[in-house]
Each structure stands twice: as C-alpha cells, then as structure tokens.
Amino acid sequence: MAMVCLVLALLITLISPAAQAQIPPEWQAAAHAVIGDLERGTPQADKPWGRELHDGWRLARAWRKHNNGNIEIILAEYLTFTLLCREAGCEEETIEGKPYRDVAAEVKALRAEQGNSYALVGNAHAWLARLSDPTGAAAKDAALWSKDPDVVAADFATSNLYGLAWLLGRARATAAGQAETFTRLGLFVHGTGWVGPRCLDISRVATTIDAPPEVENCK
C-alpha cells in the first residue's frame, strides 16, 4: 500500500504545471465576447466555436515559455492566440500554418532588425499610419497608441507580442487586410482602439468575476 501511495505521489509531481493549469473562466468569457464582437456582421460570425478557447490557451503558454521562459501569460496573449486559432487553426501548435517556434524566430529577427522595443513600436505605428485604410482606423490607432509607447515597449513579452502582430499584419496581401489584422491584434495589447469604424474599449472586459463581459465603446 505504501508503494502504491509513493507511485501516485510521484505521478502527481511529474504532471506538468501546463497540464494542471485551468483557464480562468472570466478569460474564456472575455475571449468569446471580444472575438464575437469583432466578428459581428462578418461570415466568421456564423462559424461554430470549437476548441479555440482551449487551444489558444495552450498555444499562448507555449509561446510564452519559448520566448520568456515562463508560462505566466497575460490576457492580451490569450486573446491573440485564441483569435489566431479561430481564424486559421492552430493544430500541432502552429501559427497560420507555421510551427510557433519558427514564427518566434521571425519575430526575434524583426526585433533585432529594429534595434530595441521602442524603435519597433515607433516604426510599427509609422507603418500603420501610412496604410491606405478605407475605414480610417489605421491612422487613428497610430495616433492614439503613439501617445504612450511604454504601454508596449517597456515590457519584453508585450513588445514581443506586438512584433508578432506587426509580422502578421505585414504579411497580408492588401493594405486593408494589413490594417484590419494589426488594429485588431493591437487592440488586445492596448485595451482601447479603433477597429473599422468603431472605437472599442476592452480594458475591463475580464475584471469582474461572475459577471458577463462587456465590450464598451471608447469614451
């Protein structure tokens, strides 16, 4: 009996923290609400939800572990990877069809090319401002988000996520697609921003426990 207890104790110890971790229910509700709001009025809105909420959590933690050496993700990371899983799938921990480690290497190269996180943020905003976006959101967000570069640049994980957003945005075939991708992913980092014709505030979407999340309009 003692041997059985010892074996069970060892098995429990060997279970990884990633396997034991639970997604905060308010984060799941927030992701469903925010992404659902972004999809409103688009064909994507009719797509049934599958495992995106769980796969996005797993991929966000894998990304964080690879880049930061820990799995203490922030809500912006969870929203980003849940959206990517919902739009393009993330089977076998891929980002738009590429292994996440390969994409992380591309972001690392982009960061090195930019020199430092403040240059990355400034150049990303300058690029965003130049895009021919028929909705006007790109120029508005570039101006809004440039007011306080510390929001992104002061933290490695956040600026790394921003680098990913810029990398994915630049890969789109059209200026409108580039603007749409970056403004949506940028919203997750900043908490407020223009997406298409609307200015959204998601800064409090996951702050109230046991209450339905709400995507607000900017004030």
pTM of the prediction?
0.89
What integer is the mean pLDDT of 7-22? 43
Euclidean distance between CA atoms 181 and 133, whole angstroms:
12
How much of the chain is helix, strand and coil, in % rounded to 5? 65, 5, 30
Report pLDDT digits (tens) over 40-78.
988 999 999 999 999 999 999 999 999 999 999 999 999
Cβ pair 145, 129 in contact under 8 A: no
pLDDT, mean over the chain? 90
Please give the Cα distance from 43 to 189 (Å, whole number).
25
Beta strands in the chain (DSSP E): 94-95, 98-99, 192-195, 198-201, 216-217
Phi-psi region of 173 (alpha: psi -120 to 50; beta: other; left: phi over 0): alpha
Percent of the chain topping pLDDT 90: 83
* Cβ proximity of 64 and 70 under 8 Å: yes
For 16-40, letters b (16+ CB in 10 Å) and e give: eeeeeeebeebbbbbbebbbebbbe
**How confident is the model over 166-212, as pLDDT tens digits?**
999 999 999 999 999 999 999 999 999 999 999 999 999 988 777 77
Task: Identify whether the C-beta of residue 135 lies closer than 8 Å to the C-beta of residue 184.
Answer: no
- pLDDT score, position 165: 98
Secondary structure class of 161 (helix, strand, coil): helix
pLDDT tens per residue, range 84-143:
999 999 999 999 999 999 999 999 999 999 999 999 999 999 999 999 999 999 999 999
Domain-wise residue ranges, the chain? 23-40+49-217
Q: What is the pLDDT of residue 85?
A: 97
Residue 219: closest CA among 201, 203, 207:
201
**Residues 6+ away with beta carbon under 8 Å from 136:** 194, 197
Dist. CA 191–CA 194, nearest whole Å: 10
What is residue 88's predicted lDDT score, i.e. its pLDDT? 94
Helix (H, G, I), strand (E, B) or coil at 216: strand
pLDDT value for 5:
36
First vs last Cα of the chain: how many Å apart? 64
What is residue 206's predicted lDDT score, i.e. its pLDDT?
Answer: 84
pLDDT at residue 20 above 90? no
> How many other C-beta atoms lie within 10 A of the C-beta of residue 67?
19
Q: Tell me, what's the pLDDT at 208?
A: 72
